[in-house]
Amino acid sequence: MKRWGAVAWRAAMVVLLTLGAGGALASEIPSYTPDPNASREEVPEVFRWDLSALFATEADWKAEIEVVARQVEELASFPATDSDAQTLARILGLYFDTHDRANHCTLYANLIHSVRLDDDHAGAMETQSLALMDEVMTQATTVRQAILSFDDQEMTDAYASEKDLQTYRSYIENIRRRRDRVLDPQAERVLNLMGDNLWAEIDLNEIPSKSENAFGALLTDIAWPKIIDEDGNEVQMTLASYGKYRASENREVRRQAVQAFFGTLYQFRHAFAATLSGQYEFSTELARARGYESAKVAYLDKYALAPAVYDNLISTVRAHTDVLHRYVSLRKTVMGLDAVHLYDLYVPMVDAEIGAGDGMDYATARETLIEALGPLGKEYGQLLAYGTDPANGWIDVYPHAAKRSGAFSASVYGVHPYVLMNFQNSQDDMFTLAHEFGHAIHSHLAMTSQPYSAFRYVPFLAEIASTCNEALVNDYLLRHSQSDEERISLLLAQAENIRTTIFRQTLFAQFERDVHAMVGRGEAVTADALDELYAGLVRDYYGPDYVLDDYDGMEWAYVPHFYYKFYVFTYATGLSSGIAIADRVREMGEPAVKGLMAMLSGGSSEAPLQLLARAGVDLTQPAPIEAAIRRLAETLDELELLLVKGSR
């Protein structure tokens, strides 16, 4: 497997894209009708990703697994302290090379298993590679201790004497930034045994606590009730089918589903309160053990984020809940309701068939996407054209039996991103394609601009490029809409996206903050207290035309986001930033594009707020959040004209 330096690789890709850009746009994409029940072999090969860029054969993968295992042993032999500059450079070089190799192994197995969920051998490969990655991650403690064994002057001298350390400077300085939060070796050992995650170098959501595991087990073991469906049949409701019945066009069916679901949750309210309070007490204890004033401060500091970012989001959204009240009022009027209940929020406001955008095949979606994202400039457009051309092997396009549902983008340093889709010829699928290629191109630009130690952007930045893409695509479709019906469909989708991503996720973020504050004050976190807090927030956010029913306050009980350790707010800041950047691109053109590309290329080479500032966004201030809320207000203005004053 050839390993590329960031500069050499970027130069190679520029040549490749220059040579292939025209061909990518003109590529003959064959016609295919999606069939979720087809076998993988029935999907034309051109629509299946090519993993040979990772490993040519499974034998090569096995050989690399052995290399990683040997390098883990070598890493373990290094001293954790008393390192000189040259030794530290060797430790860091070996650690990141081992991590990179292990990541290739893990992703190769994961990508194979993602399209062959019924293949036990593929599942075993994934398990084996993940176990190996865990072994690599255990060496992060040794690396951290080696870095922190240098005092400030020694570190300055080390940079001067060992030039290779410059490659790892951003990583080193991010660790040293928190050196006051490191305890003595025995205390660190105790915290590690407790399941400390504040120094973890992977997504914290991949490290479930015991309370989170108990929460998941509780949800799994609940016997959900039966309800009467639209055809008058008694059907078994499940956690998976709840969303379907909650969105039923039959109001009695969705009312019954929501009340039965929350009524069932209510029977287990004390157990759910115990798992959530246990999670928050654990987070608070870990934070206090390291000298933080609160769990919120600790988990934000992990990514060099100031608490002001979190609190600014909540205060700004709370100051503009009148716009959400307008949304609820419009829904009430258009649907002809006496009041809006929770079970009225997830059904289409108008006929679901209006402007739905079905019948958009992959080739058309791709061409539309390339044109819609044209404002992002030539380099972005070339990457998009090349990556979305299925002949180039980046993307697995269509659904089939035993393929993972949904969509994702996976970053493979030194190769290229891989994108999994389940494209079924709809406009929604095109938006998903835009979203996932926002992730993919963000990763590609970071990988080709930064060393491995600094290419991974933090979760706080993860959703910005993807939501910027969606905003630009939506703007393009609105400009080219051919009828009021099509325009209404696009506007409703935009309004719903802002409601669920900015207002709803901010409500979640406030609930998470306030419950942690209760724990910090030593207050009892009971089911009744949680119900009262959550119901009060819903009333404040949704306004006078929204009615809470019995047990609606129990919604907190089944939301997994509340176990994600101050992560949920990033959905709201991500969409706000994406919309703000899309507005800047539309209004300013090239200067805004250059700023965005600088942010996307930055990886983790700078603190996330500094990188975001390159794109012209400051999330310590209300402006970008207000821009997103203003977009909702403008959307409601037009919808009121089309749906109410126009007397459709």
Indicate which residues carry an active-site annotation. Answer: 436
Residue type, 371: E
What are the strands of the beta sheet with 418-420, ordered from one edge? Answer: 395-396, 418-420, 408-410
How many alpha carbons fall within 13 Å on the CB side of residue 275?
Answer: 23
Nearest to 608 by CA among 374, 325, 305, 361: 305
In sequence order, the β-bridge partners of residue 234 are 228
d(CA 178, CA 176): 5
Residues in the chain: 648
Residue type, 608: P
Residue 387 · residue 381 · CB < 8 Å: no
> Can you say how many angstroms the Cα of residue 538 is from the centroid of all Cα atoms in its chain?
24
Nearest to 289 by CA among 142, 183, 186: 183
d(CA 457, CA 304): 12
At residue 112, φ and ψ (nearest 5 deg) are: -65, -50
Q: Which tokens belong to 18?
A: 């220059």
Question: Cα torsion at 155, 160, 164, 167 (round to 10°)?
Answer: 70
Per-residue b/e over 565-597, b at no fewer than 16 CB within 10 Å? bbbbbbbbbbbbbbbbbbbbbeeeeeebbebbb
What DSSP assignment string belongs to 460-477? HHHTHHHHHHHHHHHHHH
Determine how β-strand 395-396 pairs with β-strand 418-420.
parallel
Residue 165 · residue 92 · CB < 8 Å: yes
d(CA 236, CA 173): 55
Q: Which tokens belong to 233?
A: 């049949």
Q: Which tokens belong to 145?
A: 């201790």
d(CA 558, CA 336): 30
What DSSP assignment string belongs to 607-629? -HHHHHHHTT--TTSSHHHHHHH
d(CA 450, CA 437): 19
Question: Cα torsion at 273, 276, 281, 286 (round to 10°)?
Answer: 170
d(CA 642, CA 648): 7
Nearest to 569 by CA among 515, 508, 511, 625: 508
What DSSP assignment string belongs to 26-76? H---------TTS-GGGS-GGGS--GGGT-SSHHHHHHHHHHHHHHHHHHH
